[in-house]
């Protein structure tokens, strides 16, 4: 039985005494960025690194993605952009939602590129740029809502905002963009509806002699499967991390060329033999049909292991075998039914997500079982799980 050991390439974790960690393969991030950049060329690749790089670690992901061919980064929050600047990352950083007025001074100071879709937001940015003074025109991206109805100005309003930006010598209308609601549904005609509305808005701007340099509409699904949506830039989040945008897309090219970048591993913390007919964990819902070896693993729902897995046949890998989670997932630990007479010792490696031997459990396996999406699985791995970084990368694929 292999003993659990962390790779040599380790970022000092905040919880250094925990016998569990998320292994982040930054080589996979680089390789995925290279695959995506080649797929969407001549459009550029924007690596979406919000939410702590989808749970992978934003600064590390950002550096790897830029090394692999990304030219832009995107975040959800001004604070996320500030974190990247503090790490001396100089690439353009797009803030995907309009920052609050009180944050605009920080936007300007940190050289973040704001998304704008309201008049108060534009006014607040103008005031912040004016207070900063002595700078070249400050880049702005205006967002048009073409039908997702989350954020973004209605097409006519977005055109008016963009024209106002273009007319202001202190501002630069660098970008004009939208977001697709069903890009992972390849044949859904709503994608065409949204792109038509976006093109009509672009045509309206062109009618006034205004042509934004960076047009963008594609998220990962758009980048992978909708060539029309690529324009000048695509914004890839989940695909950058080696995961399909939806469960049906796992085998749809070019997803098989991507490599999942995160695995979740731990060491067995305790082992005992439990008699037949005994029941295990909270609620005593798991009954042993025969005497079995039960291994305790020190990761639980507070670490991001979905509690529902215990009710839907969740498994982990021990010694290259799939073993069921035995009973309710608890806050800090799970129990695993390793079977009668299993040779399992404290310290042996357990893989919750990832590969061991010839067996693999993926974030999408968890997501499908739990009735959610892989995004939520990887983002849900909590901050008390140390991130360990493996920076090995053999280089881009031949011909890329």
Helix, strand, coil fractions of the chain, as percent rounded to 5: 35, 25, 40
CB proximity list for 183: less than 8 A, separation 6 or greater: 191, 218, 219, 220, 221, 222, 225, 226, 229, 245
In order of 29, 80, 186, 283, 304, the CA distances from 334 in angstroms are: 30, 32, 38, 14, 12
Q: Is the pLDDT of residue 398 over 60?
A: no
Closest CA to 78 of 102, 45, 54: 102
Q: Break the chain into its structural domains and give their ranges.
A: 26-257, 262-390
Is the pTM above the cut of 0.85? Answer: yes
b/e per residue, 253-269, with b = 16+ CB within 10 A? eebeebbbbbbbbbbbb
Angle at 28 between CA 23 and CA 34, to 5 degrees: 160
- The residues assigned a catalytic role are 50, 282
**Could you read off the pLDDT of 273-306 as tens digits, one per residue?**
999 999 999 999 999 999 999 999 999 999 999 9
| Domain 262-390 superfamily per CATH | Lyase, Ornithine Decarboxylase; Chain A, domain 1 (2.40.37.10)
- Give 10's pLDDT tier (boundaries 50, 70, 90): very low
- Give 18's pLDDT tier (boundaries 50, 70, 90): confident
Q: Considering the domain 26-257 in this protein, what is its CATH number? A: 3.20.20.10
What average pLDDT does this structure show over 369-384? 96
Q: Is the pLDDT of residue 340 over 70?
A: yes
CB atoms within 10 A of CB 84: 22
**Could you read off the pLDDT of 77-117 as tens digits, one per residue?**
999 999 999 999 999 999 999 999 999 999 999 999 999 99
Residue 89 class from Cβ within 10 Å (0-12 exposed, 13-18 middle, 19+ buried)? middle
Q: What is the pLDDT of residue 134?
A: 73
């Amino acid at each position: 039985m292999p003993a659990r050991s962390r790779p040599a390439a380790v970022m000092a974790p905040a919880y250094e005494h925990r016998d569990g960690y998320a292994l982040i393969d930054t080589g996979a991030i680089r390789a995925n960025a290279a695959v995506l950049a080649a797929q969407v060329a001549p459009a550029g690749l924007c690596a979406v690194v919000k939410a702590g790089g989808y749970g992978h670690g934003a600064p590390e992901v950002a550096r790897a993605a830029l090394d692999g061919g990304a030219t832009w980064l995107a975040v959800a929050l001004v604070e996320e952009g500030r974190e990247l600047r503090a790490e001396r990352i100089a690439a353009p950083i797009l803030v995907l939602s309009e920052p609050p007025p009180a944050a605009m001074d920080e936007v300007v100071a940190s050289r973040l590129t704001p998304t704008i879709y309201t008049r108060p937001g534009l006014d607040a940015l103008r005031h912040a740029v004016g207070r900063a003074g002595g700078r070249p025109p400050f880049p702005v991206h205006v967002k048009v809502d073409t039908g997702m109805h989350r954020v973004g100005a209605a097409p006519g309003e977005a055109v008016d905002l963009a024209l106002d930006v273009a007319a202001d010598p202190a501002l630069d209308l660098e970008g004009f963009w939208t977001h697709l609601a069903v890009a992972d549904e390849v044949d859904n005609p709503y994608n065409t509806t949204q792109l038509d509305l976006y093109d009509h808005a672009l045509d309206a701007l062109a009618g006034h002699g205004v042509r934004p340099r960076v047009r963008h509409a594609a998220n990962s699904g758009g980048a992978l499967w909708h060539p029309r949506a690529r324009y000048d830039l695509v914004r890839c989040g989940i695909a950058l991390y080696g995961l399909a945008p939806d469960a049906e897309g796992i085998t749809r090219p070019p997803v098989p060329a991507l490599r999942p970048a995160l695995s979740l591993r731990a060491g067995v913390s305790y082992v005992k033999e439990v008699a037949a007919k005994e029941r295990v964990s909270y609620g005593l819902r798991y009954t042993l049909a025969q005497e079995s070896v039960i291994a305790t693993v020190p990761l639980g729902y507070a670490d991001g292991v979905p509690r529902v897995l215990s009710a839907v046949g969740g498994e982990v890998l021990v010694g290259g075998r799939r073993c069921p989670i035995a009973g309710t997932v608890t806050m800090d630990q799970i129990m695993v039914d390793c079977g009668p007479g299993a040779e399992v010792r404290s310290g042996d490696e357990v893989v919750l997500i990832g590969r061991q031997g010839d067996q693999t459990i993926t974030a999408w396996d968890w997501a499908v079982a739990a009735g959610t999406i892989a995004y939520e699985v990887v983002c849900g791995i909590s901050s008390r799980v140390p991130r360990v970084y493996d920076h090995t990368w053999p280089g881009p694929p031949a011909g890329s």
